Each structure stands twice: as structure tokens, then as C-alpha cells.
């Protein structure tokens, strides 16, 4: 048989009874032994591509899963259906829900003695309840079409999804259809019972074969480590803490660098796994820019600051779920809840670190920029006035910046008899605390100042 030619479904299911294989055939083997989530899709993509490059004669999938995301299972199903070589699956234990869809997409199915296949009803990830009929209708049609393409009974495939469907001699209405190995063989959904994957290959008529196994790369292992919820939470904590620390001590650089590295390590593996989309990462970057503008350019804390924080937090949550734009119909509710909890725990963890290492939040310069933390008393220079007509002689006076002027802040006017801090505003630039300025006018209730140039 030409190793690049894919036999039709009838020939593929006849392999255990005499399909002709080339001498010393090459078998490419990989495992799906976890929930069918984005990492599983990444594994399948790499495995099938490597099998094609190696010109493997057979693709062997060792499967054990209780299910997972329907959209990911559908992508895996289509990839296996369009593989260039026959695809065999060995069900080591369970092929439930999404696992059943993947299994019937393969040309030949072999099952361990105690394994099961079926129960493909789409359920909620939160409480296990059946999802609305529009989800079931999609899964029923998908199971039927794949079963037809592989020469299996489409009614049986559909009954694995629809508990109300009766198939005479197979399942009664109202019961979930799950096959044991002997039942699957009797109904054309299994080619044989095998002790392990080697036994499955022997029953398929493969002898003197070579095996090429999928090997996770260093990048794969790193991605698997970084997408762990606990690691993701720690990275988010570093992001929040680093940004806060940099805003407290601008110009230091190290906290901002740590936050940038943590953000890269957070988003990169999620992007590779297909969870974080480019636009979700862009939302985070826009949020950082808006927050910086609010803190360093725009006085007070208003729309830009709130929008920046919202975009940053929203981006972190969205990057943890496999949504398509704002379509969440295939995202289990518990996945969304878990993402929200992960982000909120990171926020609280960062707040704890800030209290522990950077002092009280109440006394921090950053918080004082964001909220009003003290009474604005008249004897300290706060007054309601439409203009500076009360003190016309202040124009031209020298003053010292008591705080950073970004562009608003406090100054001490040299000729002020009350010697109290006054609210001031620069002409648009940044003036550090301690700099000498000159009062050049009034803008509303604030003194307008200009930084004095240091003689060269």
C-alpha cells in the first residue's frame, strides 16, 4: 500500500482481517490522556504534522478522556479525518463525550477490556446538566456526519448524544448510550479488544513495524508549566506588583522590567495554546497606556484610569478562556468562574505584597494621586475662588515644588505670608519635587507656574 494514500473507511476497518501493509511500516504514536482542551489540540496539530513529514504508514492515537470542549474536539476530529495515512485509536479507558467524537473520526477503533465509549451529550462544566438543544443539535449532526463518513451507523452515533432517541436492539429512549468493548464490536464501533496499543497494532495486522513516538519539546514542557493556574496566578501577581512599584518609584526600571517579563510569560503560552488572541493581548497593552496617561498626564483619576484597569483585568480573564471574540457558547461556565477567581486572587495577592513590602496603601504617594485622603482646609491654601484677584502680586514670585507636578501638584510660594502649600499647575510639562518655579498666572483656582531654567 502506498504510505501516502489514505484507504477508504471500509478498507480501514478491514485492517484486522487482512489489510496489506508495507514491509517494516512506520507507526507514529501519540497520547491524548487528559481533558480535550486547547493543549490537546496543539498536541494533535504537531503530531499529525510530524507524522506527515516522516511519511508514517499509520497514525496511532492512545486515548483516555472524559471529554472536554466541543469546539476543540471538532478541530481534532477534522484533523484526524484529513490525515494522509490510516488512523487507529486505542481506547485505554474512557472515550466519553468529546472522546467519542474523536474516536469515531478514526479509521479503526480498538478498546481495552474495561474501556467504554459513548455518552456524548453536551453538558455544562459547572453542574453536569445537559446544555440547551441548540448545543445538542450541533453535536448530533456532527456525530452523524462523521459516522457516515467512516461507514458506521449514524443512528447509533446520534443516540450517543440524544437520550430521547431509540435505536431498536441497541438502546431504549431515555437512556444514555455507552458501549462496552463487546457491545461496540457487535454494533460496528470497534474492531477488536486489545490489552495495550501493541496488541491493537498486532490485531490490525501490523508486524515488524517501527515506532516513532510524540516527544514534547522544551517549549511544550514550558508551556504546560506556565499555563498551570497556580503559575498563571503568580505571574499576574508579579504584573500587578511590578506596575505598582514602578509607579511608586518612577525611573527605577526593575519593577517595570519584572512586570513586562511576567506579562510575556503569562500571555505567550496562552497564545500558543490558542486561548489568548492577539486582540486580547492588545487590550492589556491599551489598558496599561490608559492607566499611565491617567497617572502621569491627566490630573485626578477618571475615565482613562477606570477604563485602563478594566481593560487590563478583562484581558487577563479573557485570555484564560477559549472564547471566539465575544462568543462564549462553547465555554463551560466553570471555566469562566475559574478565570475570574484566578485574576481576583492575583489582585488580592498583589495588594498583600504591597502592604508587606511597600508600606501602607493609604499612605502611598500613588494612592494619594488617585483619591482624596485629607481635608482641604483653607488655612493650608485650599480656597474657592474664581481667579487670583485676591493675590494679584503673586505673579512673578518664585516658588518651590513640594510635590511632583504632573502637571498638577503643590508649591510653596516665596512671598506667601501664610506660608501654606498652594495648588499649582504647570503649563503642560513634568516638574519634579524640589524644583524652583515661577508663578506666571492663574488658571481657575490654581496657580500657573513655569519651571526655572538652570543656567548652563
161 and 23 in a single domain? The answer is yes
How confident is the model at residue 292, as a pLDDT?
A: 77
Cell numbers that stand for 298 in this block: 491627566
Q: How many angstroms separate the CA atoms of 265 and 222, rounded?
A: 10
Are the C-beta atoms of 93 and 114 separated by less than 8 Å? yes
- Tell me which of 431 and 129 has the higher pLDDT: 431
Owning domain of residue 131: 9-215
> Which residues is 167 bridged to in the sheet?
171
Q: Are 368 and 295 in contact (CB under 8 A)?
A: no
pLDDT confidence of residue 125: 57
pLDDT confidence bin for 392, thresholds 50/70/90: low
- Give the residue, 300 or 28, on which the prediction is more confident: 28
Q: How confident is the model at residue 36 (pLDDT cuts 50, 70, 90)?
A: confident
pLDDT in tens, 302-352: 677 788 888 998 898 888 887 767 766 666 666 777 788 888 888 888 777
Task: Based on the fold, state whether residues 53 and 99 are members of the same structural domain.
Answer: yes
User: What's the pLDDT score for residue 282?
Assistant: 92
Task: Give the model confidence (pLDDT) of 180-227 as tens digits.
Answer: 999 999 999 999 999 999 999 999 999 899 999 998 888 878 887 887
Residue 456 counted as domain residue: no
Does residue 405 contact residue 425 with C-beta atoms inside 8 Å? Answer: yes
Span of 3-7, 226-230, 336-340 with lowest mean pLDDT? 3-7
Do 355 and 229 lie in one domain? The reply is yes
Cβ–Cβ contacts within 10 Å for residue 126, how many? 12
Residues 35 and 147 in one domain: yes
Strand ranges (DSSP E) for 153-259? 178-179, 192-193, 210-213
The answer as to whether 281 is a domain residue is yes
CATH code of the domain containing 101? 3.90.226.10
Higher-pLDDT residue of 355, 267: 267
Most confident of 51-55, 163-167, 251-255: 51-55
Residue 114 near residue 186 (C-beta atoms within 8 A): no
21 with 83, same domain: the answer is yes
Q: Which residues contact 434 (CB under 8 A, 6 or more apart)?
A: 400, 401
pLDDT for 379 equals: 46
Domain boundary among the residues 370, 397, 421 is at 370
**Res 235 pLDDT > 50:** yes
Percentage above 70 pLDDT, the chain: 79
User: Are 158 and 227 within one domain?
Assistant: no
> Percent of the chain, pLDDT > 90?
30
Work out the average pLDDT over 36-55: 90
Higher pLDDT pick, 305 / 144: 144
What is residue 329's predicted lDDT score, i.e. its pLDDT?
Answer: 65
Using CA of residue 369, residue 371, residue 374, residue 379, what is the dihedral sign?
positive
* Structural domain includes residue 393: yes
Model pLDDT, residue 427: 79
Contact status, residue 354 vs residue 255, Cβ threshold 8 Å: no
pLDDT at 153: 93
Question: Is the pLDDT reported for residue 286 higher than 70?
Answer: yes
Q: What is the pLDDT of residue 123?
A: 65
Residue-level pLDDT at 51 = 95
| Domain presence at residue 307 | yes
Say if CB 108 and CB 206 are below 8 A apart.
no
**Domain stop point among 353, 370, 387:** 370
pLDDT at 278: 87
Predicted local confidence at residue 132, as pLDDT: 64
- At residue 127, the pLDDT reads 52
* Mean local confidence (pLDDT), 273-296: 83
Note whether 183 and 66 are same-domain residues.
yes
Residue 4 lies in a domain: no
- Using alpha carbons only, give the angle 213, 217, 219 rounded to the nearest 5 degrees: 155
Write down the pLDDT at residue 299: 57
Is residue 374 predicted with pLDDT exceeding 60?
Answer: no
Is the pLDDT higher at 116 or at 19? Answer: 116
pLDDT at 121: 78
Q: How much is the pLDDT for 22?
A: 84
Residue 201 pLDDT: 95
* pLDDT computed for residue 371 by the predictor: 43
224 and 202 together in one domain: no
Q: Is the pTM of this model over 0.85?
A: no
Are residues 386 and 354 both part of a single domain? Answer: no
Name which of 59-63, 76-80, 423-427, 444-448 the model is least confident about.
444-448
Q: Answer yes or no: is pLDDT of 254 > 70.
A: yes
* pLDDT > 80? residue 240: yes
Structural domain total, the chain: 3
**pLDDT single digits (tens) 49-100:** 999 999 999 999 999 998 888 888 899 999 999 999 999 999 999 999 889 9
CATH code of 405's domain: 2.40.50.140
pLDDT value at residue 106: 95
Both 207 and 243 in a single domain?
no
Whether residue 74 is contained in a domain is answered as: yes
Confirm whether 3 is domain-assigned: no
pLDDT confidence bin for 3, thresholds 50/70/90: very low
CA distances from 377 to 208, 301, 374, 383, 384 (A): 91, 21, 9, 8, 11
CA distance 263 to 285: 10
- CB contact at 8 A, 78 and 60: no
Do both 200 and 103 map to the same domain?
yes
Region 129-144: mean pLDDT is 78
Residue 332 falls inside a structural domain? yes
Mean confidence (pLDDT) of the chain? 80
Residues 86 and 175 grouped into a single domain = yes
Mean pLDDT on 398-402: 91
Q: Which of 354, 370, 386 is the C-terminal boundary of a domain?
A: 370
Residue 248 has pLDDT above 90, yes or no: no
Amino acid at each position: 500500500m502506498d504510505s501516502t494514500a489514505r484507504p477508504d473507511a471500509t478498507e480501514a476497518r478491514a485492517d484486522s482481517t487482512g489489510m496489506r501493509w508495507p514491509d517494516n511500516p512506520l507507526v507514529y504514536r501519540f497520547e491524548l490522556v487528559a481533558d480535550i482542551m486547547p493543549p490537546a489540540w496543539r498536541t494533535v496539530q504537531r503530531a499529525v504534522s510530524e507524522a506527515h513529514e516522516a511519511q508514517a504508514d499509520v497514525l496511532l492515537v492512545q486515548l483516555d478522556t472524559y471529554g472536554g470542549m466541543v469546539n476543540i474536539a471538532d478541530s481534532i476530529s477534522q484533523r484526524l479525518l484529513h490525515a494522509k495515512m490510516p488512523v487507529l485509536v486505542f481506547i485505554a479507558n474512557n472515550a466519553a463525550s468529546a472522546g467519542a467524537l474523536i474516536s469515531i473520526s478514526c479509521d479503526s477503533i480498538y478498546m481495552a477490556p474495561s474501556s467504554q465509549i459513548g455518552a456524548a451529550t453536551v453538558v455544562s462544566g459547572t453542574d453536569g446538566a445537559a446544555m440547551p438543544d441548540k448545543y445538542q443539535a450541533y453535536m448530533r449532526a456532527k456525530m452523524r456526519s462523521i459516522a457516515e463518513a467512516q461507514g458506521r451507523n449514524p443512528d447509533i452515533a446520534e443516540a450517543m448524544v440524544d437520550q430521547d432517541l431509540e435505536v431498536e436492539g441497541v438502546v431504549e429512549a431515555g437512556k444514555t448510550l455507552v458501549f462496552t468493548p463487546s457491545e461496540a464490536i457487535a454494533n460496528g464501533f470497534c474492531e477488536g479488544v486489545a490489552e495495550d496499543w501493541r496488541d491493537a497494532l498486532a490485531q490490525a495486522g501490523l508486524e515488524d513495524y517501527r515506532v516513532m513516538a510524540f516527544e514534547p519539546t522544551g517549549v511544550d514542557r514550558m508551556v504546560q508549566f506556565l499555563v498551570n493556574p497556580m503559575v498563571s496566578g503568580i505571574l499576574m501577581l508579579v504584573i500587578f506588583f511590578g506596575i505598582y512599584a514602578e509607579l511608586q518609584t518612577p525611573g527605577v526600571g526593575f519593577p517595570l522590567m519584572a512586570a513586562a517579563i511576567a506579562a510575556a510569560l503569562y500571555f505567550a503560552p496562552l497564545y500558543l495554546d490558542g486561548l489568548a488572541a492577539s486582540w486580547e493581548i492588545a487590550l492589556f497593552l491599551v489598558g496599561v497606556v490608559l492607566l499611565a496617561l491617567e497617572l502621569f498626564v491627566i490630573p485626578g483619576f477618571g475615565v482613562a484610569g477606570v477604563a485602563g484597569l478594566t481593560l487590563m483585568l478583562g484581558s487577563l480573564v479573557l485570555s484564560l478562556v477559549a472564547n471566539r471574540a465575544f462568543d462564549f457558547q462553547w465555554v463551560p461556565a466553570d471555566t469562566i468562574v475559574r478565570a475570574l477567581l484566578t485574576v481576583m486572587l492575583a489582585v488580592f495577592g498583589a495588594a498583600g505584597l504591597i502592604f508587606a513590602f511597600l508600606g501602607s496603601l493609604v499612605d502611598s504617594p500613588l494612592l494619594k494621586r488617585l483619591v482624596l485622603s485629607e481635608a482641604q482646609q483653607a488655612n493650608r491654601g485650599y480656597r474657592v475662588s474664581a481667579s487670583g484677584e485676591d493675590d494679584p502680586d503673586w505673579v512673578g514670585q518664585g516658588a518651590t515644588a513640594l510635590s511632583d507636578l504632573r502637571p498638577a501638584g503643590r508649591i510653596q510660594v516665596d512671598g506667601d505670608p501664610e506660608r501654606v502649600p498652594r495648588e499649582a499647575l504647570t503649563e503642560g510639562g513634568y516638574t519634579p519635587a524640589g524644583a524652583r518655579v515661577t508663578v506666571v498666572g492663574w488658571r481657575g483656582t490654581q496657580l500657573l507656574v513655569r519651571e526655572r531654567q538652570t543656567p548652563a
